[in-house]
Amino acid sequence: MTSLPPAPLGLTYTSSHEAVRVELSGDLDHLHADRLIGAVDRLLAAHPGLRDLRLDCAGLSSVDSSGLAALLMVRRLADKAGAGLHIDGRTVQLNRILEITGTLDYLTAPGADAQCRRRTGAGSAHGSPAEENHPSTAPGGQQSHERG
C-alpha cells in the first residue's frame, strides 16, 4: 500500500481595517498545526484593534487532533485580542470532529471579549454582512500567501 504525503497547509489572508480573512487549504494536522497558530499570532499582533478574524476552512483536506488543538488555540488568541472568531466554510469532516469533541459551540459562539465589547458599544459598528464575509484589501490593506 502506498500512502500519499500529507498536503502542506496553505494559508492565504486578506485584511481590511477591522477584519482579517484567512483561507486554509491542505491538511491541518500534526505536521502543520503550528503554522496556523504562528500565522494567526502574527496577524493579530500586526492588526491591533481587529474586530473579526475569519477562518475559511472550505479548502481543508483533513483535520486531525492537532488541527483541532490549533483551532482551540486560535480561539484563545482571538479572545485575548478582543476579536470575534468566525469559522466559515466548515467541511463535513470538520463539523463532525467539532460535534464529536463538543467543541462546535465553543469555536463558533461569539467570544467573551467580543460579546462584552458589543454590549458596551465599544468600537465601531459592523459593516454589512457582505463586507464581513469578504473583507477587501483596501488601501493600506494587505494580501499574503503562505505555503508549507
Residue 94 lies in a domain: yes
Of 137 and 101, the structure prediction assigns the larger pLDDT to: 101
Residue 58 lies in a domain: yes
The total number of structural domains that make up the chain: 1
Measured from the Cβ of residue 140, the count of other Cβ atoms closer than 10 Å reads 8
Q: Is residue 135 part of a domain?
A: no
Give 121: exposed, middle or buried? Use CB within 10 Å, 0-12, 13-18, 19+. Answer: exposed
Identify the residue with better confidence: 148 or 57: 57
Residue 82 and residue 114 in contact, taking contact as beta carbons nearer than 8 Å: yes
* 43 pLDDT above the threshold of 50: yes
54 lies in which domain range?
Answer: 10-118
Q: For residue 42, what is the domain's CATH number?
A: 3.30.750.24
Pick the closest to residue 59 from 29, 26, 34 (CA basis): 26
Cβ partners under 8 Å of residue 123, min gap 6: 18, 49, 51, 117
* pLDDT tens column, 110-132: 865 555 544 444 443 333 333 33
Q: pTM value?
A: 0.74
What is d(CA 121, CA 87) in angstroms, rounded to the nearest whole number? 24
Asked, for residue 57, whether it belongs to a domain, the answer is yes
Q: Is residue 142 part of a domain?
A: no
Tell me, yes or no, whether 91 lies in a domain.
Answer: yes
Residue 146 predicted with pLDDT over 80: no
